[in-house]
Amino acid sequence: MKAALTPSEVQDPPAQKAARHRRGVREWATFLAFLAPNVLLILAFIYYPLASNIYYSMLDWRLGAASADFVGLKNYLTLFTSPTGLDMWRVTLIFTISTVVISMAIGLLLALVLNRNIPGRTFARTAVFSPYVLSGVGVGMVWNFIFDPQIGLLSHVFAFFGANSPDWYLDKNLALVMVIVVYIWKNLGYCAVVYLAGLQSIPKDLLEAAAIDHAGPVRRFFTISFPLLGPTTFFLIITTILSSMQAFDILRIMTPTGHGTNTIVFELFLQGFGVYQRAGYSAAISVVLFLALFIITTVQMRFVERKVHYA
Amino acid sequence: MSVESRNEANPGAEAGAGNAGIIAGTGAGVARTGADTSGAVAGVSGTTSARGGSGRSGRGPAWREAFTPRHLGETILTGYLPLLIALAVIVLPLVWMVIASFKPPGEIVTLTPTLWPQEPTADNYAAVADRVPLGRILLNSIIVTAVGSLIKVVLAITSAYALVFIKVRFKNIIFLGILVALMVPPEVALLPNYMTISALGGRNTLWGILLPGLGTAFGTFLLRQQFKTLPIDMLEAAELDGAGHWKKLWKIVVPVCAPAIATVALVTIVTEWNSFMWPLVITDTPENMTLPVGLNLLQSVEGQTGSYGYLMAGAVLVIVPVLIVFAALQRHIVSGLTQGAVK
Amino acid sequence: MVNVSLREVSLSYPGTERPAVADVDLEVADSEFLVLVGPSGCGKSTTLRMLAGLEFPTSGSILFDGADVTDVSPTTRDVAMVFQSYALYPHMSVAENMEFSLKNTGVAKDRRRELVAEAAAMLELEDLLGRKPKALSGGQRQRVAMGRAIVRRPQVFLMDEPLSNLDAKLRVQTRAQISALQRKLGVTTVYVTHDQTEAMTMGDRVVVMNEGRIEQAGTPRELYNSPATLFVAAFIGSPTMNLIPATRGADGTAVGAGVSVSLPRDLPESGEDIVLGIRPEDLAVSPGEGTSELELEISLVEELGSDTFVYGTTPEQDPLKLSEKPVVARLSKGGVPRRGERMSVHIDPAQVRVFDARTERLLV
């Protein structure tokens, strides 16, 4: 049988190499055709902005102006030392910590209730989650109406108890409280649903074993459920910090020009596109924001990786 | 029973009331029941492969225990009471919005509001249309949402396919690049993108609103995870059956992963519809605005009091469509938005 | 139909020391049923995947009827494969699964329906054509996988352990069905399995592979009677051949543990250390002419009804040492010894296979 074939019919190594090369080129061509549009868009509208922000951030530059002065790191200095800059950090810190802590605490309580085996909870879960998917603009408008000191729903509640509604919009601190409340209202369901999923992944026999060992319901929660929710809690801390730092829609609609509510992203917008049009300073905020979020996300990814390994 | 008394002492408090009671009751609930645990989380784990689709079997006698005379009080106090408070806080503002949008101004600017409109009217909606080009704005929003989502989903599908199923070297480096892009919040790119799109003449155009957001790191990442769970045998079988990459993608991968793709599509649609910051920056003529930006304009041209009827009508227009979609398809949307939380 | 040749085919994965497949030379005749068998990791599946075009060899070439297809992609190679997992398309009905390849090659609709109906009839799938794979039993899925392969009448069939997900009884049935189907269609077939019984019962020829290399290729009878290497001797047959280490004496005899056998005169040169291989059925209870005797202390008796397998140790063997395998004898019906008893078995020198212990190859 071997004799039936002449050697010439078998490809020699160079020809084989060429065939292999052609195949590789074809695969690459398909790969690029499938991926290139997305990659080019990402390069143009995510990576290029990242780089150009660094350049912009060193300019004293009014948005729209033809010329700008190079000022080195002055914008960063302003961001970390000037009263405006420090106030932004203070507001961001208060806003982030209070929204994260309160959403997670109430979210956990809601999850515990939703985890009970009672009819109607599927509906309740859907309802609780629903604000999370709604337009921040619409939500902000609705709550503007509720917080209106003269005719808002809340003012009627205060009137019922014989009190006057505080003027949420005039007082800087109250304005911050107001947007925190609305932000929590919108994002609470996310925490509740994620905690609910965490609770349901706890093996039932663990809790039963603890019950047999005479652990009461409260003790069971603190010695078993809560520790086992550790990864969920960590995940939520990271994701809610990330989204709180990016809050914008509600802040812009409820306090259009910022009034004690200038968290980092809102300040980035107001400085660049508000009355000041300080584009260079806005770019500096962008750079710092990116670094902060990048570090937080990297920490999360490392943790998740470890979790996967030991799971 | 000290738990119950503590709860009764706090009847009017907000959702967080009676902490200990809720915890105690739920702990007991978890230990006792559980036949139905998979049903409640099905929405969350819809596309996460391991626990997907476990359905709501066993919703049988397990919950009845909650209604036996012995447990009834506890069920109400630690189950329904907090749930009702939570639901009231969540739902009431939205109900108030819908009702107010049908009230004439006299019923809004009043010290004695009624729940139902005394003289229901659609005038508020007409008033919105008077102040901003509503038809145009709605159409813009629909076009931006539809075209943007379609392009994004298609790009996510082809990108994820390329990253998973085409064997070329260095593709992991490209994936890493996409992963880093995932960490870049859109706000960071606001100013440079404004410069780019302005230079291209894209201000106050639909393509200017669409273009910067079309590259999709989120969808690519999510679908890549999903595609990786497909058995490689199946793709090889298709290859031997004479299907090239294009056919493998559209005839095998897409139909098999339809639920995950639907999830990505829904999340994208909702995000596009709600998108505010970028359209706000890139448009300033009412004819080219999307709905959220138009509403922002509406609010700024109206004085704060008296115009709430119009503003609530506007809010209804932007909120209710999403609520309807969400109510119908919540499983997919919740699972997409809580990705990564459930392994 | 075609004949298939592999010429010095090797495949090394980057970063591994030992090639997955090394210098495989193989001719598969037109309409032959060839089985590749070996332990896991022996390279049999990799070889099959190279025939399919799912892997490309690092060197060497693959020819179908003399035409080099080494670098032809699986899409255009015109081979069909049945996967161990069946790899059915979950979103398509049985008919659509079978039709998919025909659609891809542009077969007209009427013709497609005809071909699917024909294949379905052959595999008794007519009533299942509208069902989705998840509504089928394991055996039915297996038949759909077969159907998907035969419907397109490929040049070559490749099967990768297609029976390993079936239960034992169904496996035996399906084995016969596949063999019959292959004979009927006359398509050149390469079949991969780790199960030597499957290999022996199905293959026209069987190729035993180990560590990426071919140990021996031959008909089942050749493999059984003259295993080319100790590996094949130990792999083929159930129970396997008794392998007794021995020393080759100058007087033409071999002396091993408890036994002395006279060697054939024409035995080729070899080292002093040899291994005697004796099939269990060649150990006779009654002495014959020129036979040598082997004393066994019986440690285990397996009654299979038709046969009895007796496991025993020679006096020189330490029965507690696991590395020393007991000697197995197959006795036909008759008096059955019991555990603990001693018995003598007799060896016919003509039935003894002799291996060189160093090269591990068959001497005679």
- A10/C7 CB distance under 8 A: yes
Same domain, B45 and B151: no
Instruction: Write a three-state SS string for C8-42.
Output: EEEECCCCCCCCCEEEEEEEECCCCEEEEECCCCC
Q: Which candidate, C74, C56, C82, C95, places its Cα nearest to that of C157?
A: C82
Conformation bin of residue C340: beta by default, left when phi > 0, alpha when psi is -120 to 50: left
Give me the count of residues in chain B: 343
Block residue for tokens 């080195």: A72
- pLDDT, residue C307, reads 84
**Best residue of C51, C82, C83, C96 to probe chain B, by most B CBs closer than 10 Å:** C83
Cβ(C148)–Cβ(C97) under 8 Å? Answer: yes
Instruction: Return the closest-CA partner of residue C158 out of C149, C147, C171.
Output: C149
Residue B116 lies in a domain: no
Please tell me the predicted confidence (pLDDT) of residue C257.
74
Burial of B45 (0-12, 13-18, 19+ CB in 10 A): buried
Nearest by CB to B41, which of A139, A197, A220? A197
Are the C-beta atoms of residues C239 and C231 closer than 8 Å to each other? no
Give the pLDDT score at A4: 42
Chain B contacts of A218, Cβ < 8 Å?
A: 20, 23-24, 27
Task: Count residue pairs from B and C with Cβ separation < 8 A.
Answer: 60
Q: Which fold has domain C240-356?
A: OB fold (Dihydrolipoamide Acetyltransferase, E2P) (2.40.50)
Distance separating alpha carbons of residues B191 and A272, to the nearest angstrom? 7
Domain boundaries, chain A: 91-280
Work out the pLDDT band at B6, boundaries 50, 70, 90.
very low
How are the residues of chain A apportioned to helix, strand and coil, as percentages rounded to the nearest 5? Answer: 75, 0, 20
Report CA C221 to chain centroid distance, whole Å. Answer: 12
Assign a CATH topology to domain A91-280: MetI-like fold (1.10.3720)
Neighbours of B96 (CB within 10 A): 18
Element (H, E) at A143: helix A136-147
> Residue A108, Cα to own-chain centre: how many angstroms?
19
Span A87-145, pLDDT tens digits:
999 999 999 999 999 999 999 999 998 888 778 888 888 899 999 999 999 999 999 99
Same-domain status, B293 and B183: yes
Q: Would you call B266 an interface residue with chain A, using a CB distance cutoff of 8 Å?
A: no
What is the model's pLDDT at position A232? 87
* Segment among B32-36, B45-49, B268-272, C65-69 with least mean pLDDT: B32-36
Would you say residue B119 lies in a domain?
no
Interface test with C, best of A1, A2, A5 (most C CBs within 10 A): A5
pLDDT score of B64: 63
Q: B192, A61 in Cβ contact below 8 A?
A: no
> Look-up: residue for tokens 């520790």?
A227
Please give, rounded to a whole number of angstroms, the shortest distance from the CA of C31 to a CA of chain A. 15
Sort out which chain B residues have CB atoms less than 8 A from C79's CB and list them: 240
Provide the terminal-to-terminal Cα distance of chain A, rounded to the nearest Å.
56
Band (A7; pLDDT cuts 50, 70, 90): very low
C192-215 pLDDT, tens digit per residue, is 999 999 999 999 999 999 999 999
Encoded tokens for B117: 């409109």
What pLDDT score does B190 carry? 92
Tell me what pLDDT residue B121 has.
86
Cβ separation C52–B236 shorter than 8 A: yes
User: What's the confidence (pLDDT) of residue B110?
Assistant: 77
Neighbours of chain A (3+ CB pairs under 8 A): B, C
Distance between CA A175 and CA C24 in Å, rounded?
79
In-domain check, residue B112: no
DSSP codes of every residue in B233-278: HHHHHHHHTT--HHHIIIIIIHHHTHHHHHHHHHHHHHHHHH--HH
Tell me what pLDDT residue B341 has.
55
Task: Give me the pLDDT at residue B336, please.
Answer: 79
Mean pLDDT of B89-115: 87
Q: Which of B62, B83, B100 is the last residue of a domain?
A: B100
Q: Which A residues in the span 87-116 are in contact with B, Cβ-Cβ below 8 Å?
A: 105-106, 109-110, 112-116
Any domain includes B115: no
A46 interfacial to chain B (CB closer than 8 Å)? yes
Query: Could you tell me which chain B residue has the CA closest to the CA of A192?
Result: B338
Q: What ranges in chain C are assigned the alpha helix state H?
A: 44-52, 74-77, 94-104, 109-122, 138-150, 168-185, 196-202, 220-225, 230-235
pLDDT bracket for residue A311 (50, 70, 90): very low
Please give the average per-residue pLDDT across B176-200, as a whole number: 90
> What are the C-alpha distances in Å from B251 to residues B242, C101, C135?
12, 12, 21
Please give the Cα distance from A240 to A105 (Å, whole number): 12
Each residue's pLDDT tens digit, B48-65: 333 333 333 444 455 666
pLDDT of residue A10: 52
Higher pLDDT: B68 or C100? It is C100
Mean pLDDT of chain C: 89
Q: What CATH number is attached to the domain comprising B301?
A: 1.10.3720.10
Which domain range does residue B263 map to?
126-337
Q: How many distinct structural domains can be found in chain B?
A: 2
ipTM confidence score? 0.87
> Which of A232-241, B31-40, C53-62 is the least confident region?
B31-40
Location of structure tokens 């019923």: B107
pLDDT, position C49: 94
Return the minimum-mean-pLDDT range out of B21-25, B233-237, B245-249, C293-297.
B21-25
- A5 chain-C contacts, CB cut-off 8 A: 5, 63, 66
Smallest Cβ–Cβ distance between A282 and the set B31, B191, B295 belongs to B191
Distance CA C251, CA C257 (A): 18
Region of poorest pLDDT, from A4-13, B9-18, B96-105, C136-145: B9-18
C172 exposure class (CB count in 10 Å sphere: 0-12, 13-18, 19+): middle
A308 against B80, higher pLDDT? B80
Question: Within this chain, do residues B96 and B150 fall inside the same structural domain, yes or no?
Answer: no
Report which DSSP code applies to A222.
I
**Local confidence band at A304 (pLDDT 50, 70, 90 cut-offs):** low
CB C87 within 8 A of CB C40: no
Tell me which of C89, C96, C103, C105 to substitute to probe the interface with B (most B C-beta atoms closer than 10 Å): C89
Which has more confidence, A304 or B319? B319
B312 with B249, same domain: the answer is yes
- Please say if the pLDDT value at position B300 is more than 90: no
Mean pLDDT, range B278-287, rounded to an integer: 94
pLDDT-derived band at B16, boundaries 50, 70, 90: very low
Q: Does the residue B223 lie in any domain?
A: yes
Question: Is B343 within the bounds of a domain?
Answer: no
Q: Both tokens of residue B166?
A: 């085409």
CA nearest neighbour of B318 among B126, B97, B133 = B97
Q: Rounded mean pLDDT of chain B?
A: 78
Positive/negative CA dihedral, B250, B253, B255, B261: negative
Query: Is A179 a residue whose pLDDT tops 90?
Result: yes
CATH architecture designation of domain C4-231:
3-Layer(aba) Sandwich (3.40)
Domain boundaries, chain C: 4-231, 240-356
Using DSSP bridges, classify how beta strands C79-82 and C156-160 pair: parallel, antiparallel or unpaired. parallel
Q: Outline where A148-278 has alpha helix (H).
A: 153-160, 172-200, 204-212, 217-220, 226-228, 230-245, 249-254, 264-273
DSSP C237: T
Q: What token pair was written down for C210? A: 């180990």
> Which two three-digit tokens encode residue A252?
């812009």
pLDDT of residue B119: 84
B324 touches chain A (CB under 8 A): no
Query: What is the distance in angstroms between the Cα of B227 and the nearest Cα belonging to chain C?
Result: 15
